[in-house]
Structures are given as structure tokens and as C-alpha cells.
A = this chain, B = another copy of it.
Amino acid sequence: MRLRLRNVFLVYFVVSLVGLFCALRELGESRGADFGGFRGVWTPPGWAEPAQRGFGGVQRGLGGILGRIWKVWGEPALSLPPEPERPILTPSFPRRPVQKAELVRLSQTLLHVPALHWVVVEDAAAPSALVGGVLAASGVSFTHLSAETPPDLRGGPGAPSWLFPRGAEQRNRALRWLRDTRGAHEPGVVYFADDDNTYSLRLFEEMRSTRGVSVWPVGLVGGCAWSGRWSRGGVVGFHTGWRPERPFPLDMAGFAVALRLLLAHPRARFDPRAERGFLESSFLGGLVTPGQLEPRADNCTQVLVWHTRTEKPKLRQEEQLQRQGRGSDPDIEV
């Protein structure tokens, strides 16, 4: 009996050592993929919350195993704040050759962000198969809607593009969807992300702590190198190259709104007849005063989003080839 117990012990010891070795190896490999949480999305180095970063630093090798046990058993004691949902609202305009490319590119940015839900609203009578295909293939959690801009808010064929603000109808549709589906006390931060801008991944981390409306500078907007809130010696103002007298001289990409604040003000919406440059003000005016804006991005000194625009491609050769009956195969989706 004594001998058999020892044998059992030895065999168990060897087997569990192998298991321990495998687990150590596994933990070593997956170290980088921690804390993303949502769908195994990887958090790039350097933009985790400091509290997470310090904790993550412990998790290497054997220290990793111990940290892991600590994580599993000590979780209620540590109580990291839950990752708030980040609904990202994007209007998308069909009948543009770059529509698919822009959505594909933006989806790759959003795929890095934990707890994100992408609400894409097409300016069309119904959601299109093209956009639906991009969203389904993207790997991002999404909702696909549509809301057509009424003809009287579209401007005639010769009217300048800035006569009416673009995307008001679509953003209002997304707001309605949020109000219909989210409970009044759900944590979350809502951001309006147009499909041609460039977003640093740090931006999504900065907006995470939004209590009301948070703001940051936007690069390459309104004819300026950057535009945004500034403060010096207690004085607060806005740097902008376009109508500084606006109540909220902010670009659509320059703020995020707490979901709770949005749900507490069921009438806040974008005015589709707002004067040029006043679309953001028409929405924010129903939520906060300019003095309540919460600066982020190192007190608004870091540009983490750029108002890039994609060139409208010239398809002259295509038209020429089509006249000769040799146009690009239309069965190939672009």
C-alpha cells in the first residue's frame, strides 16, 4: 500500500508538472492578449489604464501563474471598473466608389477597441448588401440601419454640398435606436465616427471616463492644423478657424457623450436644418453648457483624431472603356 501510494503520487506529480509546463507556456504566449476582454481583442501596448498596466506587469512566467490565481480569487477585492460599452455611430453615404474601402478601413481600427458596438446608418431607403457584407466580415459587433435624407433637405442637383448639414438624419436614427434598446442606467460612451476620419486607438481609451460630454482637439479641420478647446490660467476658449462665435465650436469627431446623459435628455438631436457649422451645437446645446465640457487628451493638448478626407476617384478611363464595351467587370465588387 505504502509503495502504491508513492507510485500514484509520482505519476500524478509528473503528469501535473507537464500540465504546469504547458500552462506556463500558454500564459507566456497569451500575455499580450490580456484585458482586451471583448472577443479576444488585443489591447495594444501603452494604452491600457495605468491600474491595468501595473497589474499586467506582474503576469510573467511563474509570476503570471500567481497573478492569475490572484486574479481569479481576488477579483471582488480588486474590482476594476467594468468596461463601459462604446456605441460608435457612423453615417454612410451610398453611390460613392470609396464607400466600401472607407468602411473596411474604419472597421480595422474599431476591431482593436474593446466593448465597442458599431451602429452604421446608411442614407438609403433600406440597408444595402454591400455595407451588410463589410460589417458581417469585419469581426466587429454591429447594428446596420438606414434612414434616407428627405428630398427637401438634400439640396437640388446644383446646390452646394454645404447648404444642408450631412448625416443629421442618420445620426438621429442611431440615437433613436440607442434610446429604444438601452436602459437608462447602462454605462456607456457614445461617439460619432465618420467613415473617412483617422482615429488613434488612444482616443477610445480617453473617452472611456466620460461623465457628461468630453472633448479633445481634432487635427486638420476647418482649414486649421488643429481645432479645439484651450485653457490658460483659468481662462477657457476654443481655437477654431471657422465662426468662433458658435456655442460649441467643435467638430463632430471632437466629443463623446455619456450614454446616461443622452438617455436623460430624450429630445437631444441633430437639427437637419442647422446653419453650416452649427450641427454639433444643435445637438450639444440640448445636453450641456460649454462650461461643462470635460477636457481629455492631456487637457486637450494631444491630437488623437484627424479629419482626413478621401479623394473622390476620377474614373475617366472607366467611362472611356465602357463606351468601347470594355468596362470593368461589374460582377467584381469594389
Contact = CB atoms under 8 A, between A and B. Distances in A.
A239 B328 contact: yes
A134 to B, nearest CB: 10
Contacts of A275: none
A139 B47 CA distance: 10
Given A22-B69, A23-B26, A334 B42 contact: no
Contacts of A2: 1-2, 5
A225 B226 CA distance: 34
A303 interface: yes
A224 B326 CA distance: 11
A315 B225 contact: yes
A76 to B, nearest CB: 16
A313 interface: yes
Given A112-B108, A309-B311, A311-B310, A29 B22 contact: no
A333 B33 contact: no
Interface in A232-254: 239, 241-242
Most buried by B among A102, A112, A224: A224
Interface string A124-149: 00000000000001110000000000
B45 A139 contact: yes
Q: Which range holds the interface residue count of chain A?
A: 35 or more
A39 interface: yes
A241 B333 contact: no
Interface string A1-45: 110011011001100101111110111011111001001111011
Contacts of A69: 18-19, 22
A317 to B, nearest CB: 3
Interface stretch (A160-168, A176-184, A206-214, A215-223): A215-223
Interface in A286-311: 301-303, 306-311
Contacts of A329: 230, 239
A57 interface: no
Given A45-B139, A139-B44, A310-B308, A65 B22 contact: yes
A319 to B, nearest CB: 8
Interface of A: 1-2, 5-6, 8-9, 12-13, 16, 18-23, 25-27, 29-33, 36, 39-42, 44-46, 65, 68-69, 72, 97-98, 100-102, 104-105, 108-109, 111-112, 137-139, 198, 200-201, 217, 219-220, 222-227, 230, 239, 241-242, 301-303, 306-311, 313-318, 320-321, 327-334
Q: Which 5 A-B pairs have the closest CB atoms?
A: A32-B40, A241-B317, A223-B317, A33-B33, A30-B30
21 contacts: A12-B12, A19-B65, A31-B40, A32-B33, A40-B42, A45-B139, A97-B220, A101-B198, A104-B306, A108-B201, A112-B112, A223-B317, A223-B318, A223-B320, A225-B334, A239-B328, A303-B334, A306-B334, A308-B311, A309-B310, A311-B311
